[in-house]
Each structure stands twice: as structure tokens, then as C-alpha cells.
Structure 1
Amino acid sequence: MTDSPADATPYEVLGVAATVDDDELRRAYRRAARETHPDLGGDPQRFRALQTAWERVGTPGARRAYDTGAARSTESAFAPSGSSVWRSDAGRSAYAPPAGRRDSRPRARSFGHPGGRSREVFLAAEREWVGLGDPIEDPYDPALVRSAPRAIRRLLGEALAEEATALIVGDMGIGVTVWHDIDAGPEGKLDHAVLAPSGLWALESIDWGGPVELERGEITGQTLLPGERPVKELVRAARVVTKQTRVRFTGRILVVPDTAIEDDVQVVGNPKKPVALIVKRRSLAIVLNGGYGPDRGAVDVFEVRARLQETVRFV
């Protein structure tokens, strides 16, 4: 369990409402511990998640800190590639939009608003959940976010995932150009198009709040929505953008949290000509710099950049 809003809350892991008293919470923990303990035939992964949940809400002090939004994993204060919540700005909610950069290092050329549409969808869903007309002092207040239904929290998780990818790509320097939130017509949007030394890549940044697997050319997992087909959706969005811009993508990448998959890179389809790559955030820059897989051929950077600048549309 990380600090991603898409993750199950400790109460969801324990299988109780956030409003139960401490005695009921303790009984739920003991019951779940018996069911999941590896020595009793339980699932080790579920048992570890249970222990993490109990650490967060198992004592009155810890529970109070979590419920008020004061408790945050130290993971969020370190490398941005591993967690959805990658900001550590003093005095700011980890869920708030990113503040402007203060350093003067050369950055990648960037166009569009990473995570912008996903945040709009999240804010609209949160407003409907709270109640239209009811005031929301801070929509990114951790206590409010953690109390929202998981489907709403996942919308914010998607925005944070897109912003985390934007930060990684931005740090690759001026030799890289990236377009965010590209209009993909009936397929919605393409999160990012990245023009890097290895070619032009179509990227989707996703956080399902849990581990996933690759089965028969598609991503599966308990936390995916019914009917969700991430690989197929990325392929379709990339095709629409290619048709609009007349620029062909070198490849397609699904960028996922480091905890979502076991290997740094997983190939969908034929390794020599993959349908897509599933890449951990910590390995994204390596892949974009050409550090993985066969040589895909040279790309006329100036021509591709000019074509996209003339034709790309944003949502």
C-alpha cells in the first residue's frame, strides 16, 4: 500500500466502514489475520497488506492521524518514479496540483497540461459525491480524498500518474519534446506523445491501486474496472492521433507504478514488434532513451516535431 489515492484504504483492506469504533476495528483485524495468515493457508500478499493497514489505523493515535490526513508514507518524499504521490512541497497536500519548478536545469519542451483533464473529471465526480451546492474548502484535503469512494479516488490517482510521468520526461532535458492530453476523438485522449532519441512514443499513465498481470495480450487485475482494456484503449487512441497528425508512433507504452508489475518492462505481443510495452516508472527514461529492445530506426526529429506542432489538438 502506497500513498496513492487509488489504493485501497486501511478500512477497505480490513473490510469495515471508516466509522466503526475501535473495538469493532480490532475484531475485524483479528478475523482477517486468521483468514490471511500464511501459516493457516492464507495469502501472504493479503496478509502483508493487512499488516500495513493495521499499522496505519490500529492505534487511536495512528487512526486519528490517518483520518485527519496527517499520516503520509515517507515513500512520497523520495523518488517520483515509484509512487503516484511524488510531491513533497512543504505545506501542500500531496494530492494538490504541482507547484512550479524552482530550479533552472534544462527541461524537455512540453506542450499541453498533464493530468489536467483527469483532475477536471475527478473534481466533478467529487463535487457530485459531496453534494452539489455543499462547500468544499479544499478538494485535495487528504481526509476528504481518503473518505471518497475508491472509484473517485482512482480518478485522482490517474491525474497524479500523468503528472509523475510528465516530471520524469521533463527531467530528460531539451533533447526531448512531449505533448500532453492529446485529443483522441471518440477514444477520449492520449495522455502523452513523447519525441525522444529512440523515436516517437504514445504513452498512457495509469495507476490501478494494485498489482496487475499480463494475460493473452491484455492487462488484468482485481482493481481494474469492468470492461477495462488498457492495451486495446492505448492502441486505439494512438491510431486516432496518428490519423489526425499523419505521424506514426515508434511504439506504445503503458506507464505503471513500480509496484504494479514484477519486471521493469513487460512486452505485449511479439518481442520483435510488440503491440505495447508495460514499463515501471523507474525505467521509463531508460526505455525512452533507447535502452531497451531492438533498434527501431532513426526518426527525423525536426520533421516529426513540426508536424505534431501543426496538427496536434488538446482536450
Structure 2
Amino acid sequence: MFDSPLSASAYEVLQVPPDCDEETLRKAYRLRLRQTHPDTGGDSAQFIQVQRAWELVGTAAARQSYDRGHGFGETPAPEWSGWRPTQTETRDTRPRARSFGQPGGWRRERYLTLIREWAGRGVTLTDPYDPALVRSAPHHIRRLLADALAEEATARIVGDLGMGYTVWHDVDASGRDARPDVKIDHIVLGPSGLYGLLSEDFGGAIKMRRGEIIGDAVSGAPIGDLLARMRTAARAARVKFSGAIVVLPDDDVVQVIDEIGKVRGLPVAVVAQSGLSAVLRRGITGARSMGGNEVFDVRTRLQQTVRFA
């Protein structure tokens, strides 16, 4: 919570300006507790957000640290790098999944292009990930960065599954008419099967209706689009997917693992980031697992046909 470029700030949750005094902040916190408490008709998710916001800015020390790290202070903390590209860790020598492509690469490039255009032509940005700059950018630009971060988070989780898994990131799924925005975020192959993954951050809680994701910040048909793109990739490589997985931030889902059954003939699960590893290890209910020879054959076919966005 509050770490996504789409999240409301602690001050927005408490409904006060960032430069308010301590007494105003304390009164706002008490008021928001009464307004959001489930026993008085409030929303439990909002109630938890209010408590979390107070933890971040409720004391002078905590507030100073929060302001410095999130662009509200005069001098942002130089060590804060929550939205910058993840640096490769060289000290971890554990066997990792085979990985191809750049997770979040297309969206990061698009974000950098649009944030520079929005800031103004001829303006040199010293830091395109400056928290104050990101927070003030239009929603569609912040959404690009949020989704890039979501894809990178999924890549780290899959990488930790070990060398028995192979993952392709940012896979082109546009068919003959190449379009970089028509892609599958991740294709994951392992003993539990072959899965197409969508990594998203809608910036708010989601619900399910008739096999599709809905919510205030959800547009289009995320699951339907993912399945259509998986069909394109499957035809090109002559492989069969075992299932589809939508990966979302933990705060945006009610259940860590929500297996919604078959959609268009394919098992689908909506999974919190914290539950992804377990799902990929055991597979989705109803999905067919793969033996060693079949995994090798599918990996070879995908390697020969996969193009990256």
C-alpha cells in the first residue's frame, strides 16, 4: 500500500494537505477512523488504509521519513529507489529459472517517453522517477510505471522457482501485424504446466463477474484479452497452454488465490503476488501437468517462435 505510483498518498487517505500541522493531522485521523469503521457502516478496506496511513505519518520521525521518500519534503532521500529499475543482484548464487526477454521493458520505455513529453520539450529531467514528478503525472503515465513494476515483481517471483522453470517476458502476441502493446507479460513453463500470465496494478480493489475482472479502475476485458493473446502464441508455436493467471498486488484482492474455473475452455486463476509461487508449483485445478520430455519439446517450440515486444 502507498508504494504503487497509482496509490493514494497517506495524506490523501487522511484527507489533509501534506503541509498540515500535527494537530490537524491527528484530528483528521480520528475522524477518518469513525467514518470508515465497519461497525458504523464504513468500509473495512478503507479502515485498514487509514490505519496504515497513520503508521506512516503519525509521528514526527515517521512523517519526516515518509515525506522525504515520497517527494513531499524539500530534499528527497537519495537512497530511495522504489520506482527505479531493479539492479541485478550478483551475490545470490542459487539456481534460478531460465529467463528470456525484459520484464516490464516495453512499459518502462513507454513511460520514459511519455513522462519526458509531458514534462515539456527541451526540458532535461534529472530523475524521471522522482516521487514528486511521478505523483503529479497524468494517470495513464503513472499506470505504465505501475504495470512495469508489477511485471518486474512477477519476474522476481518466477525466477526464484529454480532451474526447473523457464519464463519468457514481454512476448509479442499481435500475430502478423506487429504491435508492441499487444503482448503477453509472461509465459511460464514448468512441471505444473504452461501458463500465460498477466501482471497488473489497477490501483484499487477488483471484483469478479462472469469470469472477468471488474472494478472502478478496470477498463476493457483483461482476462478475455489475455486468453486471446495466448491463443495467438499457441497457434504460432503449436503448443497448448495449461491455464491463465492474472497476478495482482496483495492489497487489491480479497483472496490470495482465486481459481475462477474455466473461461473459454481454459482454467483461470486470479492470484495475489504472495500466492503466485504456490500456484506455479502446484498448478491450477483442472490444468494438465507436463512430463520431462513434453516440457523439453514445448520449450524448444517456444524458443523457435517467440518474439519479444
Report the TM-score when normalising by structure 1: 0.81
CA contact (8 A) 1:68 1:142 kept: no
Q: Distance in 2 between matches of 1:229 and 1:292?
A: 21
Is 1:262 equivalent to 2:251 in the alignment?
A: no
Distance 2:279 2:48 in 1: 31
- Identity fraction in percent: 49
Q: Deviations over 1:267-297 (max 9, x none)?
A: 23449x6442112222222222235424614
**Equivalent residue, structure 1, for 2:75:** none
Work out whether 1:65 is the aligned partner of 2:65: yes
1:15-94, aligned counterparts within 5 Å?
Answer: 15=15, 21-22=20-21, 32-57=32-57, 62-69=62-69, 91=79, 93-94=81-82
Q: Which amino acid aligns with 1:138?
A: D
Q: Report whether the alignment pairs 1:201 with 2:205.
A: no
- Give the drift of 1:116: 0.5
Shift of 1:132: 2.7
1:181 to 170, 187, 207: 170
**1:126-173, Cα deviation, whole Å (9 max, x unpaired):** 223322322211122334333434443332121111111111111111
Once residues 135 and 200 of structure 1 are traced to their aligned partners in structure 2, the CA distance between those partners, rounded to angstroms, is 44
State which of 141, 146, 165 in structure 2 corresponds to 1:157. 146
CA contact (8 A) 1:286 1:292 kept: no
Superposition misfits of 4+ residues, deviation over 6 angstroms: 23-27
Aligned to 1:312: 306
- Aligned-partner Cα distance in 1 for 2:33–2:199: 34
- Show structure 2 runs of 5+ residues with no match: 72-77
Could you say if the C-alpha distance between residues 297 and 93 of structure 1 is closer, same or farther in structure 2, counting changes exceeding 3 Å? closer
Instruction: Give RMSD over aligned pairs.
Output: 2.9
Q: Report the alpha carbon displacement of residue 43 of structure 1 after superposing the two structures with TM.
A: 2.3
Question: Secondary structure of the equivalent of 1:232?
Answer: helix
Instruction: Mark the CA change 1:274 to 1:302 in structure 2 (over 3 Å): closer, same or farther.
Output: closer
The equivalent of 1:221 in structure 2 is 215
CA distance in 1, matches of 2:70, 2:154: 26
CA deviations over 1:217-274 (Å, ceiling 9, x no partner): 11122332xx332111211221222233222211111112223223232123449x64
Shift of 1:26: 6.6
Question: Normalising by the residue count of structure 2, what TM-score does the alignment of the two structures yield?
Answer: 0.82
1:75 is matched with which residue?
none
Q: Partner residue of 1:240? A: 232
Using a 3 Å threshold, how does the CA distance of structure 1 residues 159 and 131 change in structure 2: closer, same or farther?
same
Question: Residue type matched to 1:133 in 2?
Answer: G
The amino acid across from 1:157 in the alignment is: A
Matched, 1:128 2:117: yes
| Higher mean displacement: 7-16 or 304-313 | 7-16
Q: Which has the higher contact order (CA 8 A, sep 6+)?
A: 1
**In terms of mean alpha carbon deviation, does 56-65 or 177-186 score higher?**
56-65
1:31-60 per-residue CA deviation (whole Å, 9 max, x = no partner) reads 645533445432232233223234434566
**Structure 2 equivalent of residue 276 of structure 1:** 268
Equivalence for 2:88? 100
